[in-house]
Amino acid sequence: MACAAAGHQAWSANLFTVVSDVFPKAATASVIGFGGMFGAVAGLASDWCLGRVLSTSGPDGYLVAFLIAGSLYLFFFGVLQVLMPRMTPLDENLKHRTQSNP
């Protein structure tokens, strides 16, 4: 369990760093706030779904829950790669920076 918690913390620290590397200082807190809001809603939905699965399948449902939770990291890494194949920072107007626009 400690290795899973350490892996999750490494994932979240890298995700926060991606946001601060791409978005300007003025927008970083807002983007992290939106991410936190969606994370809280996803947590509520997953708790409800896990309760439904466990009430119908019993303790064997934990296997499904851990398989889904573990594979979501790879899934969202793929989503991140598709949405942002090259990490290019944005300027204050949220436009991609170019060589002439440092």
Give the pLDDT band (50/70/90) at residue 37. very high
Q: How many C-beta neighbours within 10 Å does residue 97 have?
A: 12
Closest CA to 59 of 72, 46, 67, 50: 50
- Residue-wise pLDDT for 4-24, tens only, equals 889 889 988 888 888 888 888
With 90 as the cut, is the pLDDT of residue 44 above it? yes
Which residues contact residue 54 at a Cβ distance below 8 angstroms, ignoring those fewer than 6 apart? 61, 62, 65
pLDDT at 87: 77
The mean pLDDT of 55-66, rounded to a whole number, is 86
pTM of the model: 0.70
Residue 74's pLDDT band (cuts 50, 70, 90): very high
45 phi/psi in degrees, rounded to 5: -65, -40
pLDDT(28) > 70: yes
pLDDT in tens, 85-94: 887 777 777 7
Provide the residue type at 83 as one letter.
L
